[in-house]
Chain A
Amino acid sequence: MRNIWTIFKRELRGYFATPVAYVFLVVFLAVAGALNYFVGNFFGREQADLQAFFVFHPWLYLFLVPAIAMRLWAEERKSGTIELLFTLPISLPQAVIGKFLAAWAFAGVALALTFPIWLVVNRLGSPDNGAILAGYFGSFLMAGGYLAIGACFSAWTKNQVIAFVVSAAVCLVFTLSGTQFVLNFLSGWVPESIATTIGSLSFLTHFNAISKGVIEVRDLVFFGSVIVLFLIANSIVLDLEKAE
């Protein structure tokens, strides 16, 4: 536990040590706000909820979360500090979990900084704050899922750009698999059960349920499993490839 905490602190401080963190936060907040107001028609809908805000989160995360995750391991490999890290008395899972939690906390900070929109909606109407809280919770959970994918591919290369592109592509697959477009494309020639399975892997489907305020165990289990599975894959990739 202590080692996870030490790694976590170093990593999180690492985010704020460079201007990258601030650039990221500004971009995230600007884009999240812009999508909400212009595309989501937040005011035009005249509804006291944050549906217009949350609906864009999967698409926003698709590009921004791999940007948080790409440096996690790729940078360690490039600078050679990975050799230092794994000759210190810590275990591989401790390092993997500590780093992941730091990135997740950073994503959480970015998400928390969108609070003015919550203030606005409370000022203009009386929204269901429980549903909004669930939306934030779901969004945070989904960010964790994307991050675990990003961390895994960051461990696979020492080039941050490759890490970004590959994880964005994999995240896209996990996002799109639930859209009507993909499901229509699959229907007819792929067995029903496989099409349903592919559809059920979608971040969109699981997130939409939570963002409407419905927290169901299967959605929590889904994101939890994605995180755990990709962190295990992350450890395996590191163990096999750390010498490269």
Chain B
Amino acid sequence: MIQADSLTKYFGPIKAVDGVSFEVKKGEVLGFLGPNGAGKSTTMKTLCGFLTPTAGSASICGFDIVEAAIEAKKHLGYLPEGAPAYADMTPRSYLGFIAGIRGLSGAARRQRIEKTVALANIASVYDQPIETLSKGFKRRVGIAQALLDDPDVLVLDEPTDGLDPNQKHEVRKLIGEMAPEKAIIISTHLLEEVTAVCSRAIIIASGRVVADGTPDEMEARSRHHNAVTMKLDKDAMAAAEAALKKLKDVASVQSPRDGTLIAYPEGGKSIITAVSDLARSKKWPVEEIYAERGHLDEVFREITQTAA
């Protein structure tokens, strides 16, 4: 439902977005990752028709964002970075304005507004000027604005920025609930968010897509993927380290601190069964043993730094 085709945007001589292509289907939640200034927001602004692409094209539900801008925008709900809103309005008048622009009227208008207010949980501040609201409520008013017309495509630029952990959880839950019916893009620099809500992630660095895959696939690129961490008695450390090194598929063994051993697998293979079997047969006094999924932040750092 969202299609970007070699999207390119220059600001004067500066290339902010450089040939970004991707597709988001119904039911997918795409996470946009990247360091600050990598071109995430510019890509989103271009995708949503605020900026005109220098080259390439984008379409929402089959409508070209430049050629059929109005039609495309009818299918789009967009939360710009920082959730800007008319400060002197109340959520009531603000949502009323958006409903007017979206062509909602009568019973449909009342129903959609009621539903959105409940979804975004802003009933308690419904008649307060937006400028007096806390950051969390402002963000939720912004999300309500994007959701109002129940659009097929949602583009949310840092939807959880500035929210407390409870609010973050709520917003992620909300995105998760809507996901099956929509195509959603969110940008974030919180990697845990990607694992929590995204079905796919794209890493952008210097305006280019440098990685595209599911969060699991990304984690699998980590050195820590399937690494086994074991906590055991100090006395058994030396023997265990030596035995682990000889184990098949173990690439290296490290001891970051006393009482902890980490075995890194060869090529990301699963070694947890072999390691635990070994520990049991040797009767090591193991207090804790677990396999890692991989560190997304490490993958992120590696990819974005080599690209930049």
Contact = CB atoms under 8 A, between A and B. Distances in A.
A89 B11 contact: no
B235 to A, nearest CB: 62
B84 A89 contact: no
Interface in A171-221: none
A91 B84 contact: no
A80 B80 contact: yes
B22 to A, nearest CB: 19
A90 B70 contact: yes
Contacts of A126: none
A204 to B, nearest CB: 36
Nearest 6 pairs of A and B residues by beta carbon: A80-B84, A6-B100, A89-B73, A17-B88, A83-B80, A89-B74
A84 B145 contact: yes
A87 B145 contact: no
B76 interface: yes
B86 A10 contact: yes
B86 to A, nearest CB: 6
A83 B50 contact: yes
Contacts of A7: 101
B156 interface: no
B128 interface: no
A79 B102 CA distance: 22
B45 A83 contact: yes
Interface in B55-104: 69-71, 73-74, 76, 78, 80-82, 84-89, 93, 97-98, 100-103
Contacts of A18: 88
Nearest to B70: A89
A56 B251 CA distance: 89
B6 to A, nearest CB: 20
Interface residues of B, number: 30
Contact of A89 (B45, B80, B89, B102): B102
A2 interface: yes
B49 interface: yes
A84 B77 CA distance: 10
Given A17-B89, A83-B45, A243-B51, A88 B98 contact: yes
Interface of B: 11, 45, 48-51, 69-71, 73-74, 76, 78, 80-82, 84-89, 93, 97-98, 100-103, 145
A10 B97 contact: yes
Contacts of A243: 11, 45, 50-51
B73 A87 contact: yes
B264 to A, nearest CB: 46
A14 interface: yes
B66 to A, nearest CB: 12
Contacts of A80: 80-82, 84
Given A10-B89, A81-B85, 15 more contacts: A2-B103, A3-B101, A14-B89, A17-B89, A79-B84, A80-B84, A83-B50, A83-B80, A87-B49, A87-B76, A89-B73, A89-B101, A89-B102, A91-B69, A242-B51
B95 to A, nearest CB: 12
A11 B86 CA distance: 10
Given A84-B145, A88-B73, A89-B70, A14 B80 contact: no
A118 B101 CA distance: 40
A14 B86 contact: yes
A195 B174 CA distance: 67
Contacts of A9: 97, 100
Contacts of B97: 6, 9-10
Contacts of B103: 2
A88 B49 CA distance: 9
A84 B84 contact: yes
Contact of B87 (A10, A79, A86): A79
Contacts of B81: 80
A86 B11 CA distance: 19
A13 B81 CA distance: 26
Nearest to A243: B51
A242 B50 CA distance: 8
A99 to B, nearest CB: 13
